[in-house]
A and B are shown apart, each in its own frame.
Chain A
Amino acid sequence: MSAIITLSLLAILLLYLGLFKAKAALLPVSLLGLVATLVMYGTDWAKDAEPRYNGMVLFDQYAVAFSILCVGVTALVLLLSKNYFDKASTHVAEYYALILFSLTGALLVVSFHNLAMLFIGMEIMSVALYILAGIRKKDFASNEAALKYFLMGAFSTGFLLFGIALLYGATGSFDLAAIKSHVVDNPHGVSPLFHGGILLLIVGLAFKVGAAPFHFWTPDVYDGAPILITTFMSTVVKTAAFAGFLRLFAFCFVPLQDFWMPVLLVITIVTLFVGNITAIVQQSFKRMLAYSSISHAGYMLFAIVAIGATSAESILVYAGAYSLASVVAFGSLILVKRATGSDHFEAFNGLAKKNPYLALAITVAMLSLAGIPLTAGFVGKFMMFSGVLADYQVLLVILAAVNAAMGIFYYFRVIVAMYFRPLDRDQIAVAGEYRVVLIVAVLITLVLGVYPAWVAGLL
C-alpha cells in the first residue's frame, strides 16, 4: 500500500514541479519515484498475504508480480517521453502526473479484493487516460480519440457498475471472499441476478481490454492518441485490465465456469479473427499495431477461458512479452515518424542499411509479437496454448494456430520493408534514452525467450 500512496504523492509533487517551471526535474523525479515503488513492491513479496484495509486490497504474489510489471513498463514509457511532449503541450508536468495517476489506478486494479476497489481503480486509470488521449489540444485526431475513448469508456463503466450492483444484489457483499463463499455454498442455487451480473461484468471488462465485439473504440483511439499514450494504453492499461479480469474470475467464478465459459469462448474466437484479419489490410504501422493488440487480447483471453493453475503465470508472461515488444515497436515508430513524418509501412523502407541496430531491435520485437521461439512472445503463446489444451479446447488452439500464422503477414511487413525494400534515406539519430529502453526491452525479450525458467514458476 505504501507503494500506491507514494505514487499518488509523487504525482502531486510533479504537478507542483510543473507549477514552479522545474521542467528538467520532472523525468528524474518520476523515475526515482518509480524505482522506489519497485523496491517497495519487491519487499512485499510474501507467500501468504492477507487482505488489508477492511478487505479492500490484497497484495499477494499475483498482485505484486503484475504491479512490478506495470511499474517497470511505465518507467520505460516515461524514459521514451523525454522531449516528446515539449512540442505538443506547454504543460508537460500534467503529462507525467496523469501517467502516474493512471498507473496508480492500474495498480489498484491488479490488487483489488473488493468490487468497489475494482471500480475505483478502473476509473482512476481511465479518467487520467481520457485526458491523456487528448493531450494534443490542437490536433484533430487526438481530440477525436479522447472523445471516443471517453464516451465508450463511460459506456462500458456503466456495464461494469451494473454488473457489480447485480452481484451485490445476489450476494449482499462487494468483498471477493464473501462472493466466493456465496458461490461455493450454493453450487446450483445462485440466483439469476448473479448470472446477469457475471454477463455484464464480462461485457464491461471486454470493453476495457478491447476484445471483440466491444473493440470498436480501440483502433481509432490507438491511432489518434499520441504514440506514447498509445504505448501506455496498450501495455500497462491492458495488462492491468487483464490482471483484474483474471483475478475476479479466478477468485470468484470458477465454480460457475460452465455458465460463462461458452460466452467467453465465442468472444475469444471472434476477437482473434477480427483483430488478425483487419490487421492484415492495414497500411499504417500504428493502426496495424492497434488491430494486432486486439488479436493479442484474444490470446490473453485464453488464460481466462481455460482458467486453471497456470493461468496467472501465462497472462503474466504473455502480457510482459507483449508489453516489451510493444514498447520497442512504438518507440521505434516515434523515431521513424520524426524522421519521415509518416507512420506507414513505407516509412520503414531501407531502415536496416542506415540503422542496423534499430532494425534489429524492431525485428526482435516483431518476432516476439509473432511468437517465434527464443523470444518471450513464444513462451507466452506456448503457455497459453498449453493451458487451453489442458482444458481440452483443441478446436480453439487450432484456430489460434491459424491466427498465429496469419500474424506473420503483417508483422513481417515491417521486416520486409526494413531489410528488403531498399531506399536511400538519412540515418536516424537515436537518443540515449531510446537506446537504453530499446536495449533493455530487447534483452529481456531474448533472455525470457531463451531461459524463461525464472518467471515460469513464479506464481
Chain B
Amino acid sequence: MDNLFILLLLPVLGALVLAFVRQAKTAKQLALLLSLVTLACTIPFWVGFVPDASMQFEQRFAWIPALGIHFHIGIDGISLPLVLLTNGLIPLIILAAFNYDYKGGFYALVLFMQAGLLLVFTALDAFAFYVGWEVALIPIYFICALWGGENRIRVTLKFFIYTFLGSLFMLVAIIYLHLQVPSGDYALASFYQLALDSGTQRWIFWAFFLAFAIKMPIFPFHTWQPDTYTEAPTAGTMLLAGIMLKMGVYGVIRWLIPVAPLGFAAYGQLALVLCVIGVVYASIIAFRQQDVKRLVAYSSIAHVGLIGAGVFAWNVQGVQGAIIQMVNHGINVVGLFFVLDIVIRRLGTRELAAMGGIAKPAPALAVMFLILVMGAVGLPLTNGFIGEFLLLLGIYEYGIWYAAFGGLTLILGAVYMLRLYQNSMLGDVNAQTAVFPDVKGTEWAVLTILVVLVVGIGVYPKSLLDVSEAAVTDLIDKVNLINK
C-alpha cells in the first residue's frame, strides 16, 4: 500500500471518472469519496515514514530514455508534510464546496490539480517537476475562470500568463542544468552535485527565483494575486492559497537554494529583503481593505512573505518554521476563506461595512471563526504560534533587523485580523445580519475539523516537526558546506 506512483495516479483516475458525471449531487459525493480514498492511501506513507534524512518510497521509471528523462519520485521529511497537507485539504475543500451545485467537471479539475501538486511535491527529476508544475496550473485556471466572479476572464488570463512566463524561465534553467550534467539526466541528485561557477549560478538563481517568486507570491511579483483570489470561486481561492502557493516555497527549499547555492549566497539577502518588504507592505494594505476576500488575500501575501524570509534565512529554525507554517497557513487560510464564504453567501456582499454583529445570531460560527483568526494571528496554543515563532527565530539568527521588521507581522496581523473579526462578528446588527443563520450541515464538519487541527497542531507541534527535522538539517548542511 505504499506505492507512491499509485498515490499519484489515484486523483487522475478519479478525475477521469468524475469528468463524466453530470448530476451535481452524485458528483460531489463521489468526489468526496474519491478524495477520501486518496487520503486513506496517504496514511501508510505517514506511518511507514522513518524520520531521517533519507529519500523514501522512491520509484524510478524510464520516461523518455533518449533524452535522459525519468519519472523519478520519492518522499522525504520535507515533502511528506506537504503531501499530507495536499491530500488532507482536498477532501475539506470538496466538502466546503457542498453548498454549491457544481457538476462533475469541477471536481475532475480539482482532482487533476491534486495530481499535479503531488507530482511537484514528490518529483526527484526536474522534468517531472516541471510537468507537475504546469499540470497544476491548467485546472486552477479553468476553475477560476469558469466559476469565478465578474472580472474573471481578464484576471485569470493575467494570472496564467504571469505564472507561465515565470515557469518558462525555470524550464530554460532546467534544460541548461541538464546539459551540464555529465550523466545526461534530469535527476535532482545530479543537479545537486553540479559545481557550476558562481556567474552561471547567479542567473540560474534568478531563473528559478522568478518562477517561485511569482507563484508564492513575493513582493513585487504579487500583482496577480489579490485580483485572482477575489475573483476565484471559494474552492479555487482555497486551492490557490491553501496549497498552490506552497509549490513556490517548496521549490525554493528543494530546488532553488541547493541547486544554485552560490547564487543564493550572492542574492539570498536581496530575496529575504523582498520577503520582508512584502510582509510589511501587504499587512498595511490588508488593513485598508473593505473587501473581506481581498483582505485575506493580502494577509496571505504577508504570511507567505514571512515564510519566504524564513527559508532565505536558511537555518534549521527558519526552514523548519517555514515547513510547519506552510501546513498551518494552509489550514488557517482554508478556514478563513470558508468562513468568509459562509458570510458572503448569506449576505450577498463582500463589503466589510455591510457586516457586523453576526456573533449574536450565529454564536457557533463566531467562536470557530475566532479560533481560526487566533491561529492566523499566531496566538500561543494555536498552530500559527509555533510556526511564526520558529520563523522569527530563524530570521533573528540571520539578522536582528530583518526579524524586527518581519516581527511586525505579528502586530500588524493582529491588527487587520481583529479588525476583520470586529467589524464582521461584533458590533451592532443590521437588518440583514440580524437574521443570519448559524452554521449547519456540512459547514459544521468542515469548521470542526479545521478548528481541531488548529488547536491540535498548536498544542502538539512535535509530531510535525520531527518528520522534517533530519531532512532539513541535512539539506542545510549540504548547502552551507558549499558556501564555506
A386 at the A/B interface (Cβ < 8 Å)?
A: yes
Q: How far is it, in angstroms, between the C-alpha of A419 and the C-alpha of B153 when the chains are bound?
A: 10
Q: If the complex has contacts A373-B130, A389-B172, A389-B179, are A420 and B153 also in contact, measured as CB distance less than 8 A?
A: yes
Question: Which chain B residues (333-369) contact chain A, with CB distance < 8 Å?
Answer: none
Q: Are B62 and A402 touching (Cβ within 8 A)?
A: no
Q: If the complex has contacts A373-B134, A385-B175, A420-B153, are A404 and B168 also in contact, measured as CB distance less than 8 A?
A: yes
Q: Are A409 and B175 touching (Cβ within 8 A)?
A: no
B411 at the A/B interface (Cβ < 8 Å)?
A: no
B161 at the A/B interface (Cβ < 8 Å)?
A: yes
A266 at the A/B interface (Cβ < 8 Å)?
A: no
A390 at the A/B interface (Cβ < 8 Å)?
A: yes
B146 at the A/B interface (Cβ < 8 Å)?
A: yes
Q: Are B172 and A401 touching (Cβ within 8 A)?
A: yes
**Neighbouring A residues of B67 by C-beta, 8 Å:** 383, 386, 456
**Neighbouring B residues of A265 by C-beta, 8 Å:** none
B138 at the A/B interface (Cβ < 8 Å)?
A: yes
What sequence of 0s and 1s flags, for each residue 427-456 of chain A, a beta carbon within 8 Å of any chain B beta carbon? 000000000000000000000000111001
Give, as a whole number of angstroms, the nearest-CB distance from B308 to chain A: 24
Question: Which chain B residues (53-69) contact chain A, with CB distance < 8 Å?
Answer: 62-67
Q: Are A416 and B157 touching (Cβ within 8 A)?
A: yes
Contact of A419 among B65, B146, B161 (CB under 8 A): B146
Q: Are A397 and B172 touching (Cβ within 8 A)?
A: yes
Q: Are B152 and A420 touching (Cβ within 8 A)?
A: yes
Contact of A398 among B65, B142, B169 (CB under 8 A): B169
Q: How far is it, in angstroms, between the C-alpha of A372 and the C-alpha of B135 when the chains are bound?
A: 8
Give, as a whole number of angstroms, the nearest-CB distance from A271 to chain B: 19
**Residues of chain B at interface, number, CB under 8 A:** 29
Question: Which chain A residues (370-390) contact chain B, with CB distance < 8 Å?
Answer: 372-374, 378, 382-383, 385-386, 389-390
Q: Are B64 and A386 touching (Cβ within 8 A)?
A: no
**Neighbouring B residues of A419 by C-beta, 8 Å:** 142, 145-146
Q: Are B165 and A402 touching (Cβ within 8 A)?
A: yes
Q: Are A367 and B138 touching (Cβ within 8 A)?
A: yes
Residue of A nearest to B62 (CB): A453
Q: If the complex has contacts A373-B130, A373-B131, A389-B176, are A420 and B146 also in contact, measured as CB distance less than 8 A?
A: yes
Q: If the complex has contacts A401-B165, A404-B168, A409-B161, are A372 and B138 also in contact, measured as CB distance less than 8 A?
A: yes
Residue of B nearest to A421 (CB): B153
Question: Which chain B residues (11-52) contact chain A, with CB distance < 8 Å?
Answer: none
**Neighbouring A residues of B172 by C-beta, 8 Å:** 385, 389, 394, 397-398, 401
B171 at the A/B interface (Cβ < 8 Å)?
A: yes
Q: Are A456 and B168 touching (Cβ within 8 A)?
A: no
Question: Which chain B residues (100-133) contact chain A, with CB distance < 8 Å?
Answer: 130-131
Q: Are A456 and B66 touching (Cβ within 8 A)?
A: yes
**Interface size range on A against B:** 20 to 34
B160 at the A/B interface (Cβ < 8 Å)?
A: yes
**Neighbouring B residues of A397 by C-beta, 8 Å:** 172, 175
Question: Which chain B residues (248-296) contact chain A, with CB distance < 8 Å?
Answer: none
Q: How far is it, in angstroms, between the C-alpha of A390 and the C-alpha of B67 when the chains are bound?
A: 12
**Neighbouring B residues of A408 by C-beta, 8 Å:** 157, 160-161, 164
Give, as a whole number of angstroms, the nearest-CB distance from A393 to chain B: 11
Give, as a whole number of angstroms, the nearest-CB distance from A358 to chain B: 15
Q: How far is it, in angstroms, between the C-alpha of A419 and the C-alpha of B143 when the chains are bound?
A: 11
Q: How far is it, in angstroms, between the C-alpha of A419 and the C-alpha of B67 when the chains are bound?
A: 36
**Neighbouring B residues of A416 by C-beta, 8 Å:** 145, 153, 157
What sequence of 0s and 1s flags, for each residue 146-186 of chain B, a beta carbon within 8 Å of any chain A beta carbon? 10000011000100110011001101100110110000000
Residue of A nearest to B71 (CB): A451
**Neighbouring B residues of A453 by C-beta, 8 Å:** 62-66
A405 at the A/B interface (Cβ < 8 Å)?
A: yes
Contact of B165 among A374, A378, A405, A421 (CB under 8 A): A405
Contact of B66 among A385, A390, A457 (CB under 8 A): A457
Residue of A nearest to B65 (CB): A453
**Neighbouring A residues of B146 by C-beta, 8 Å:** 419-420
Residue of B nearest to A401 (CB): B168
Q: How far is it, in angstroms, between the C-alpha of A390 and the C-alpha of B152 when the chains are bound?
A: 40
**Neighbouring A residues of B65 by C-beta, 8 Å:** 453, 457
Contact of A374 among B62, B135, B152 (CB under 8 A): B135
A412 at the A/B interface (Cβ < 8 Å)?
A: yes
Q: Are A394 and B176 touching (Cβ within 8 A)?
A: yes
**Neighbouring A residues of B134 by C-beta, 8 Å:** 372-374, 378
**Neighbouring B residues of A372 by C-beta, 8 Å:** 134, 138
Residue of B nearest to A406 (CB): B161
Q: How far is it, in angstroms, between the C-alpha of A405 and the C-alpha of B164 when the chains are bound?
A: 6
Q: How far is it, in angstroms, between the C-alpha of A200 and the C-alpha of B169 when the chains are bound?
A: 35
Q: If the complex has contacts A401-B171, A405-B168, A456-B67, are A374 and B161 also in contact, measured as CB distance less than 8 A?
A: no
Q: Are B131 and A374 touching (Cβ within 8 A)?
A: yes
Question: Which chain A residues (400-428) contact chain B, with CB distance < 8 Å?
Answer: 401-402, 404-405, 408-409, 412, 416, 419-421
**Neighbouring B residues of A382 by C-beta, 8 Å:** 171, 175
Give, as a whole number of angstroms, the nearest-CB distance from A277 to chain B: 15
Residue of B nearest to A408 (CB): B161
Q: How far is it, in angstroms, between the C-alpha of A39 and the C-alpha of B178 when the chains are bound?
A: 38
**Neighbouring B residues of A367 by C-beta, 8 Å:** 138
Q: How far is it, in angstroms, between the C-alpha of A401 and the C-alpha of B164 when the chains are bound?
A: 9
**Neighbouring B residues of A457 by C-beta, 8 Å:** 64-66
**Neighbouring B residues of A409 by C-beta, 8 Å:** 157, 161
- Counting chain A CB atoms within 10 Å of each CB, the highest count among B152, B153, B157, B168 belongs to B168
Contact of B175 among A378, A386, A405 (CB under 8 A): A386
Q: Are B138 and A452 touching (Cβ within 8 A)?
A: no
Give, as a whole number of angstroms, the nearest-CB distance from B252 to chain A: 20
Residue of B nearest to A367 (CB): B138
Q: How far is it, in angstroms, between the C-alpha of A378 and the C-alpha of B132 when the chains are bound?
A: 13
Q: How far is it, in angstroms, between the C-alpha of A397 and the C-alpha of B175 when the chains are bound?
A: 10
Give, as a whole number of angstroms, the nearest-CB distance from A382 to chain B: 8
Residue of B nearest to A370 (CB): B164
**Neighbouring A residues of B171 by C-beta, 8 Å:** 382, 385, 401
Give, as a whole number of angstroms, the nearest-CB distance from B341 to chain A: 22
Q: Are B179 and A390 touching (Cβ within 8 A)?
A: yes
Residue of B nearest to A458 (CB): B66
Give, as a whole number of angstroms, the nearest-CB distance from A306 to chain B: 12
**Neighbouring A residues of B66 by C-beta, 8 Å:** 313, 453, 456-457
Q: How far is it, in angstroms, between the C-alpha of A390 and the C-alpha of B172 when the chains are bound?
A: 11
Question: Which chain A residues (272-306) contact chain B, with CB distance < 8 Å?
Answer: none
Q: Are A420 and B145 touching (Cβ within 8 A)?
A: yes
Q: Are B138 and A401 touching (Cβ within 8 A)?
A: no
Give, as a whole number of angstroms, the nearest-CB distance from B46 to chain A: 29
**Neighbouring A residues of B168 by C-beta, 8 Å:** 401-402, 404-405
Q: How far is it, in angstroms, between the C-alpha of A313 and the C-alpha of B66 when the chains are bound?
A: 11
Give, as a whole number of angstroms, the nearest-CB distance from A11 to chain B: 37
Give, as a whole number of angstroms, the nearest-CB distance from B321 to chain A: 32
Q: How far is it, in angstroms, between the C-alpha of A446 and the C-alpha of B138 when the chains are bound?
A: 15
**Neighbouring A residues of B153 by C-beta, 8 Å:** 416, 420-421
Question: Which chain B residues (160-215) contact chain A, with CB distance < 8 Å?
Answer: 160-161, 164-165, 168-169, 171-172, 175-176, 178-179
**Neighbouring A residues of B175 by C-beta, 8 Å:** 382, 385-386, 389, 397
Q: How far is it, in angstroms, between the C-alpha of A390 and the C-alpha of B168 when the chains are bound?
A: 17
Other A-B contacts than A372-B138, A378-B134, A397-B175, 20 sampled, CB-CB below 8 A, are A367-B138, A373-B131, A374-B131, A374-B135, A382-B175, A385-B171, A385-B175, A386-B175, A389-B172, A390-B179, A398-B172, A408-B161, A412-B157, A416-B153, A416-B157, A420-B146, A420-B152, A453-B63, A456-B64, A457-B66
A sample of 27 cross-chain residue pairs with beta-carbon separation below 8 angstroms, ordered by A number, consists of A367-B138, A372-B134, A373-B130, A373-B131, A373-B135, A378-B134, A385-B175, A386-B67, A389-B172, A390-B179, A394-B176, A397-B175, A402-B165, A404-B168, A405-B161, A405-B165, A408-B164, A409-B161, A416-B157, A420-B146, A420-B152, A420-B153, A452-B64, A453-B62, A453-B63, A456-B64, A457-B64
Q: Lowest 7 A-B CB distances belong to which pairs?
A: A457-B66, A401-B168, A405-B165, A373-B134, A456-B66, A373-B131, A453-B64
